[in-house]
Copies of this chain bind each other. A is one copy, B any other.
């Protein structure tokens, strides 16, 4: 096993870009420490490190919207990973959208560029 990544540049974390394996849409960006990365590889479900909560975070642990890993790539300097996934459930974003990238820059303002795919209240019950 030689899965070395460069966790030193960002205080023990690498950037993790999550992309839908079929549509190729970028769904979210998170961070993984070494343990989260290993969990992701071993379990086949994308697992992150939450900087705000300072703990591992299995995406979908409360919503059920897990991310099934299809492939993992790393970049030239090994401080980022690109995880191609099959997203379970109607959306990845806790605000009710398919992708966390639901706002586009239009004439200097961020504009919501799509409609929700689910009601976040019914899934998260007020907590994100």
Contacts and interface: CB of A to CB of B under 8 A. Distances in A.
Interface residues of A, number: 40
Given A19-B26, A82-B26, A2 B73 contact: no
Contact of A76 (B15, B23, B94, B113): B94
A28 to B, nearest CB: 7
A113 B73 contact: yes
A93 interface: yes
Given A3-B105, A72-B104, A80-B100, 19 more contacts: A1-B108, A1-B109, A2-B109, A3-B110, A17-B17, A23-B24, A24-B24, A24-B25, A29-B80, A41-B108, A71-B104, A73-B101, A73-B105, A75-B100, A75-B103, A76-B93, A76-B95, A76-B97, A82-B101
